[in-house]
Amino acid sequence: MRSERNYVAGLYTRLDAERARVKGEFTAALRGTGGTPMERDFHVRALAKEAKRLDVADNGLCFGRLDTLSGEHSYIGRIGLFDEKNEFDPVLLDWRAPASRAFYVATGANPENMRRRRQFHTRGRQVLEFTDEVLGRPGVDERGDAALLAAVNAPRGEGMRDIVATIQAEQDEIIRLDHPGVLVIEGGPGTGKTVVALHRVAYLLYTQRERMERHGVLVVGPNPAFLNHIGRVLPSLGESDVVFTTTGGLVPGLRVTAEDPPEAARIKGSLKMLGVLEAAIADRQRLPEEPIPINLGGVAVQINAETAEWARDEARASGLPHNEARVTFTEIVTYVLTERAIGRIGRTWLSRSDRGAWERMRKDMLNELANDDAFTAALDELWPVLTPETLLAPLYSSLERLRAAGADPALLRADGDAWTVSDVPLLDELVDLLGRDKAADQAAAQAAAREQKAEAEYAMNVLDSLVGRQDSMDDEDHLFATDLLYAEDLADRFVEQDTRELVERAAADRDWTYRHVVVDEAQELSEMDWRVLMRRCPGKSFTVVGDLAQRRSEAGARSWAEMLEPYAPGRWIYRSLTVNYRTPAEIMTVAAALLAEFAPQVQPPESVRACGVQPWSRLVTEDELPAAVEEFGRDEAGREGTSVVIGPPDVPGAVAASETKGLEFDSVLVVDPERILADGPRGAAELYVALTRATQRLGVLHHGPLPQALTGLVEAGTPAQAGNQR
């Protein structure tokens, strides 16, 4: 034990030395003047990223050791460290390195030329104890259960923990899988599919950093609580170039959480909405019911239906998005009006042979139309500049417009712009269908340039003032910003490049493309959702995580092939996880009985452990319910770990099962399971999710008869009594 403690202490000494080295180089880089501002900025950012990588390694820096048959041994840890005197001699192997793989996959039957696997149990920088597993002998447990069970039995805290020290063989195979397309990871509750997907991202960033880090990774989860739960896993593994969002946040500027009723969500999620959107745009490309008079060059001309129809046909035939095709529409209408006006004016006094005079007249009329409010209003009426919001909101609030677009009347709502999660992929689709408003884009670009120039001038003025102050003081006693940056350099940085971090730039840019995308709870995504995500990753490099048995959305996936084959034909593969590391066998037995009723074709995952506490149920009246919920809360307050109450929305203190997807708690109280079960066609999936959130204790409160699938619960008098049943 002493030698291991000394070795790990030496690793921390090496870590501290690396931190000091990087910090020194970072400070020197800030003060440096060589190269261009962009080159210096790139160097500074690289050092800052390296410093961040070193900062995450304090907790659990080294968690294991591998001994080979020849007596050599290697230490495995959160990051890689090298000998100070020999930069090619590793003193700590990164868990993602090929040489570390045996730590996760070596078993008694296949020892991978290893004799022993040692796993450290640490607190802070201190090694408390270690567990040895001798490999290559009959009867040795292939899962390394000592360390695994210690991890899965530990009380839950805030946020998901990484599993870098306890990755199991079937998980490691998926994490290191070399597949350039779409990987589907399916597994029942507690199989670790989410954390496996996140570790796969860390592995890809480690092995393909140059290809991936310039564009980053997108992680899409079911709700903000889930993203908050998993948000610390990748940073704890030293990876920060990752954007986390829900499908409701895929359009910059929107953070939508409201959901449609099931029928509206199903309609909006179908690819049939593409035709509706196109028809809705076409409906806004109008012909005048009556000719529109325009005064041009002192004569009256008109935009009649025939002229508008010709212009509309030409604009549509251009194949351009709506807003960009407005240029063609405008050119045709302008041509007709100017020809008519010139014909009326010129035939009285101007010869056709005087081309110069004709052209000057035409130029004058074009300028006149460009500044004519009546002409602009006519264009806006017949071919308006549209945004996704100004197209979709009036569509939803008008039964007439819905009918004209061939849309289902179920989409009608009073508040057209009360956006829901199902609206987001439609708004995103409309960005491409409508195209850009070039005039607005140009104005925005000019405004941004003016703002950027002002920032640069401000920076120069501030630093110049510091120079003036420094000139009047003792240089040896005072350190000013000019010691770190020259004013011109800072100004150049404002002008030449975007100084935001990758995550900020990516999240704010609708057209940003990622090198890899992770989609969790992917069974809930609609056909329209997948179109958004595929646009975000042209290389079609995805890790897709889900469980079809837990699908609650009517617009969600019924098969992976149905959703993925159109976008990645022949480039997606399927892997499954079969071991439940979260849910104890006692609870999984109850959940499996429910699963057998609504999805008999699905095999429930096998629990890796038992907890010794039987899940219970208790019959209460409606008046007794609040007190029973409070009693559960008081009982759990005296225990270590986390707890949650899951139930219908009118239950005080309860959250919906859908809000707990992907989360886990030490103790769960499910209220009114019969009402959850009766809530629509996917009520059984909702209840299945609720039952499988607990890692230790599960209780159920019910008003009426207990659903048949839950009759395996032990009837208890109080939650406190139930919690002690073994």
Mean pLDDT of the chain: 85
Strand 542-546: give its sheet, edge to edge: 242-246, 217-221, 516-519, 542-546, 182-187, 572-577
More confident of the two residues 20 and 140: 20
pLDDT digits (tens, 9 = 90+) for 3-21: 999 999 999 999 999 999 9
pLDDT the model gives residue 240: 81
Pairing of strands 542-546, 182-187: parallel
Judge residue 360's burial from the number of C-beta atoms within 10 Å of its C-beta, 0-12 exposed, 13-18 middle, 19 or more buried. Answer: exposed
Cα 129–chain centre separation: 38
- What Rg do the C-alpha atoms of the chain give, in angstroms? 33
Residue corresponding to tokens 């495995």: 76
More confident of the two residues 531 and 42: 531
pLDDT the model gives residue 155: 63
pLDDT the model gives residue 454: 67
Is residue 504 within 8 Å of 252, Cβ to Cβ? no
Q: Does 338 carry a binding-site annotation? A: no
d(Cα 153, Cα 120) in Å, to the nearest integer?
17
Residue range 182-251+510-577 in CATH 3.40.720.10: no
Residue 478 has pLDDT above 60, yes or no: no
Residue 208 has pLDDT above 70, yes or no: yes
Q: How many CB atoms lie within 10 A of CB 181?
A: 16
Whether 182-251+510-577 and 585-715 share one fold: the answer is: yes
640 phi and psi angles, rounded to 5 deg: -80, 140
- When pLDDT is averaged across residues 183-208 and rounded to a whole number, the result is 92
Q: Which residues contact 255 (CB under 8 A, 6 or more apart)?
A: 248, 249
pLDDT the model gives residue 693: 94
Q: Does 189 carry a binding-site annotation? A: yes
pLDDT digits (tens, 9 = 90+) for 352-408: 566 677 788 889 999 999 999 999 999 999 999 999 999 999 999 999 999 999 999
Q: What percent of the chain has pLDDT over 90?
A: 55
pLDDT the model gives residue 470: 47
Q: Does 356 carry a binding-site annotation? A: no
d(Cα 239, Cα 446) in Å, to the nearest integer?
36
The domain ranges of the chain are 1-154, 182-251+510-577, 585-715
Residue 725 has pLDDT above 80, yes or no: no
Q: Does 193 carry a binding-site annotation? A: yes
Band of residue 450 on the pLDDT scale cut at 50, 70, 90: low
pLDDT digits (tens, 9 = 90+) for 156-189: 555 666 667 778 888 889 999 989 999 999 999 9
For the ranges 101-115, 342-356, 416-430, the lowest mean pLDDT is seen at: 342-356
**Token pair for residue 14?**
């090496």
pLDDT digits (tens, 9 = 90+) for 676-708: 998 876 899 999 999 999 999 999 999 888 998
pLDDT the model gives residue 431: 97
d(Cα 221, Cα 243) in Å, to the nearest integer?
11
Band of residue 54 on the pLDDT scale cut at 50, 70, 90: confident
Q: Does 194 carry a binding-site annotation? A: yes
pLDDT digits (tens, 9 = 90+) for 592-602: 999 999 999 99
* pTM of the complete model: 0.80
Q: What percent of the chain has pLDDT over 70?
A: 83
| Helix ranges (DSSP H) in 70-109 | 102-105
Residue 635 has pLDDT above 80, yes or no: yes
Band of residue 144 on the pLDDT scale cut at 50, 70, 90: very low
pLDDT the model gives residue 573: 97
The H or E element containing residue 362 is helix 355-370
pLDDT the model gives residue 193: 93
DSSP 137: S
Q: Does 190 carry a binding-site annotation? A: yes
Q: Which residues pair with 25 in a beta bridge?
A: none
More confident of the two residues 49 and 20: 20
User: How big is the CA angle at 627 (ends 622 and 628), to the nearest 5 degrees?
Assistant: 80
d(Cα 381, Cα 455) in Å, to the nearest integer?
40
pLDDT digits (tens, 9 = 90+) for 289-327: 999 999 998 899 999 999 999 999 999 999 999 999 999
Q: Which residues pair with 715 in a beta bridge?
A: 617
Cα first-last separation, the chain: 37
Q: Does 64 carry a binding-site annotation? A: no
Q: Which residues contact 553 (CB under 8 A, 6 or more apart)?
A: 262, 265, 266, 269, 523, 524, 525, 526, 682
pLDDT the model gives residue 530: 98
Return the CATH superfamily for domain 585-715.
Answer: P-loop containing nucleotide triphosphate hydrolases (3.40.50.300)
Is residue 436 within 8 Å of 323, Cβ to Cβ? yes
pLDDT the model gives residue 142: 39
More confident of the two residues 278 and 123: 278
Is residue 125 within 8 Å of 12, Cβ to Cβ? yes
